[in-house]
Amino acid sequence: MVHILFDISRSSPYCSLSDHQSLQGAQMAIPKDLLDIMGCAFCKEPLQLEGGHLHCTQTECGLIYSIKDDIPIMLIDEAQRPCPGCSETRDWQDDLLKCPKCGKQFEYKRS
């Protein structure tokens, strides 16, 4: 499957002014078939789209990935890593997320 990304906010010689005005500010969503096969970069659990971010569905993991220019940023270093206990940003190292405030840990166990 091939996805073509394009910026619909700029004017185009292929649409009329009224078409361009109706597209102004429109956002393109992540296709459902792509979302269905994506998983969290840390724990591999499914993701769900909420408010312009991808959220891991594993509550102990709970990483939140940004979407920039319609491209999911699936890097753990770039993800928000809130602690499910105290909401502090957790430190990440290899297969471990650890909260510096409350000490709560989540370890990914490879199978």
Q: What residues contact residue 92 under an 8 Å CB cut-off, 6+ apart? A: 42, 76, 77, 81
Instruction: Tell me the per-residue pLDDT of 69-105, one tens digit each, with 9 for 90 and over.
Output: 889 999 999 999 999 999 999 999 989 999 999 999 9
Q: What is the pLDDT of residue 43?
A: 96
> What would the pLDDT profile of 40-64 be if each residue is shown by its tens digit?
999 999 999 998 999 999 999 999 9
Residue 110's pLDDT is 79
Looking at residue 45, what is its pLDDT? Answer: 97
Q: Is residue 14 pLDDT above 80, yes or no?
A: no
Tokens encoding 11: 């004017």
Question: Ramachandran region of residue 12, left (φ > 0), alpha (ψ -120 to 50) or beta?
Answer: beta
Question: For residue 104, what pLDDT is reported?
Answer: 95
Is residue 64 packed enough to be buried (19+ CB in 10 Å), middle (13-18) or exposed (0-12)? middle
pLDDT score, position 37? 95
Domain positions in the chain are 28-107
With bands split at pLDDT 50, 70 and 90, how would you rate the model's confidence at 109?
confident
Give yes or no for residue 22 having a pLDDT over 60: no
| Residue 45: C-alpha distances to residues 19, 37, 60, 107, 109 (Å) | 40, 10, 11, 13, 12
CB 108 within 8 A of CB 93: no
